Amino acid sequence: MYKACVFGDYDSIYGFSAVGLDIYPVTPETAEEEFQKVCRAEYAVIYMTEYYMALLKEETEACEQKLLPAVVPIPGIFGNTGDGIRRVKRMVEQAVGSDIIFGSEY
Amino acid sequence: MATTHVNPTRMELTRLKKKLTTAMRGHKLLKDKRDELMRQFLDLVRENKALREKVEAAILASGQNFVLARAGMTDEEVNLAMLSPKQEILIDEKERNVMSVNVPVFEFQTKSNDSGDIFPYGFAFTSADLDDAVRSLNDILPDMLRLAEVEKSCLLMSAEIEKTRRRVNALEHVVIPETEENIKYITMKLDENERSTQIRLMKVKDMMLAKAHHYETI
């Protein structure tokens, strides 16, 4: 059995602990070290705030081609940067060759 | 003109013909794989887009409630309220095979199924905004897990589609034309050899006839 966790700054993620997800509050300095720890643990899904997703780009990309864990960007408390939806847009571009789903919305 | 040097022999011709049949078959199969993957990918990615928009909006809304809750309570109170979560989520991961791409399927169980039983704190010392925030997060949780599943599937499938597309293109534009050209070259070369042998034989026959009967053919 796997679990799911949330990774990001404390203010953005502390609420998720109430609904049963493990939380990993980090600061930009400790992010990389903590992420390695999270990767080693048995998590099927890692929700990560967009800010840290951008910060740990290389590390998260290493997880991309593996079946587990699934790293999913979520908006932090400072608002939605649109990175999450742009990531999906990039997938469409990679697969189809050009974006046929999103158009110029994003 | 063949770019690579090929031996104009029958053995080579048989080999190349076999290679061409395999390449054509592979091309057809890979093309079918690509089309089916693409169809499934597009369905998934549409779902992904809708889910993501929904989840992002919900998380932002609950984030606002959390900010309000923190404004109305001290840090210690908030920390205390969140200290020992009641709810726990366990994910059972299975694999699904979509056109030879393994994608994950998540099934999740919660420790308590009662949606009224999610709050890990008593209501006496916490603000109502905290309740709203936790409830809205709890409502969106199934969608969040589905989003993780769909997004991971999309990611794995898009990489596979790209790979398959490259393979199809390589077969269609490089391997198949090249093999066809080589086959054509060998066939022509062999035909040419056969004709020259024939002519040589005819010439020899003429020479022998001329020698034996002393008459000239035209």
pLDDT of residue A99: 80
A106 assigned to some structural domain: no
Mean pLDDT of chain B: 87
A101 assigned to some structural domain: no
Please give the tally of structural domains in chain A: 1
A100 assigned to some structural domain: no
Separation between Cα atoms, residue B125 and residue B131, nearest integer Å: 12
Q: Which amino acid is at A48?
A: M
Could you say which of 1.10.287.3240, 1.10.10.10, 2.60.120.10, 1.10.357.10 is the CATH number of the domain covering B29-161? Answer: 1.10.287.3240
Minimum-distance CB partner of B38 among A2, A87, A95: A95
Mean per-residue pLDDT, B62-91: 79
Domain range for A12 is 3-80
Query: Inter-chain contact A77–B63, Cβ cutoff 8 Å?
Result: yes
A40 assigned to some structural domain: yes
pLDDT of residue B116: 63
pLDDT of residue B217: 58
Residue A67: give its domain's CATH number.
Answer: 3.40.50.10580
Q: Is B157 on the interface with A (CB under 8 A)?
A: yes
Separation between Cα atoms, residue A9 and residue A75, nearest integer Å: 11
Mean per-residue pLDDT, B203-208: 92
Query: Inter-chain contact B111–A74, Cβ cutoff 8 Å?
Result: no
A66 assigned to some structural domain: yes
Question: B175 CA to chain A: closest CA distance, Å?
Answer: 22
A96 assigned to some structural domain: no
Query: Inter-chain contact B141–A17, Cβ cutoff 8 Å?
Result: no
ipTM: 0.89
| pLDDT tens readout for residues A39-52 | 888 888 999 998 88
Question: A45 CA to chain B: closest CA distance, Å?
Answer: 7
Mean per-residue pLDDT, B50-59: 90
pLDDT at B77 over 80: no
Cβ neighbours of A51 in B, within 8 Å: none
**What is the domain partition of chain B in residue ranges?**
29-161
